[in-house]
Amino acid sequence: MRKDLRQAGIVERVERSGYLSVAEAAAALSVTMQTIRRDFDELISVGAIIRHHGGATPNPAGKVTNYATRRSYLNEAKRAIARRLVELVPAGSTIFIETGTTLEALAAELPKLKLARVVTNNMNLAIMLSRHGAWPVEVPQGEVRASDAAILGERAVASLHEYRFDLALIGAGAVAPDGTILDYEPADVAIARTALALARLSYLAADATKFRHTAPLRLAPLTAITGLVTDQKPAPALMRIARKAGIALHVCQDGPGRERARPG
């Protein structure tokens, strides 16, 4: 098994269970204890997990910095979120898709739709979508970040103002209990805020771990989006915020069932 896939499996098991021992990880992934210890050391060194009594626990303030590992992490949840997002995209629309591995999962789903155009600052996604040739795929001007091929910076923000989006799809580093959408990097926040301001509708794609994490930068309040698409129900407090604001809540857990938070 490739190291990025193995480490993604470790992080996912830690997140899901709350604690994972070295022995449990070695057995689950069919590798030696020595290999798993090296993986734990690497993941702990970058803050993805926290060392704890012969194993590891989640790091609420951590981020999986290795792009290949992050891309392999929570694959089933990301695919489920992507399938639900596609159901929400209006036919014939111009859409913006932010960078991030959750939204990158749309590459397998979007070609099913008839769209006017797709604009994205995710170079990886742009290349994958352009191969289908179903509709124009455009990217903003700007600098390409080496770690994940995201297009960012002042020129990228300025070039987005040439568009008026029917729909913006954004990600986040975390969602706070009070509904604040959070992220890690100022450049990502600037792109997401601009897209939200230029879009008629907007959806936040966030797997359930984002409700347990934290990040240092405020992106927007939850009330700034049209809807939230996730793989598991958020905590009741967050559900109440969504319901009060009339934010559509789409939960992909256990198949195609859907919940919608209505004004109450």
Range with the poorest average pLDDT among 50-64, 126-140, 158-172, 200-214: 50-64
Token output for 91: 């036919």
Q: What is the pLDDT of residue 253?
A: 66
> What's the rounded mean pLDDT across residues 153-161?
98
Sheet with strand 55-58: strands edge to edge:
20-21, 55-58, 49-52
> Whole-prediction pTM value?
0.86
> What's the rounded mean pLDDT across residues 204-208?
95
Task: Please measure the distance between the N-terminal and C-terminal CA atoms of the chain and give it in whole angstroms.
Answer: 49
Does position 163 have pLDDT exceeding 50, yes or no? yes
Tell me how far CA of residue 246 lies from CA of 85, 172, 222, 226, 263, in angstroms: 18, 20, 11, 8, 4
Does position 222 have pLDDT exceeding 90, yes or no? yes
Does position 165 have pLDDT exceeding 50, yes or no? yes
Does position 40 have pLDDT exceeding 90, yes or no? yes
Q: Does the structural domain 3-71 have CATH classification 1.20.1300.10?
A: no
Other beta carbons within 10 Å of 153:
19
> What's the rounded mean pLDDT across residues 150-159?
98
Does position 131 have pLDDT exceeding 50, yes or no? yes
Does position 260 have pLDDT exceeding 80, yes or no? no
**Radius of gyration (C-alpha) of the chain in whole angstroms:** 18
CATH, range 74-251: 3.40.50.1360
Domains of the chain, by residue range, sit at 3-71, 74-251
Identify the burial level of 164 via C-beta atoms within 10 angstroms of its C-beta, where 0-12 means exposed, 13-18 middle and 19 or more buried.
exposed
Judge if 3-71 and 74-251 fold alike in CATH terms.
Answer: no
Q: What is the pLDDT of residue 118?
A: 98
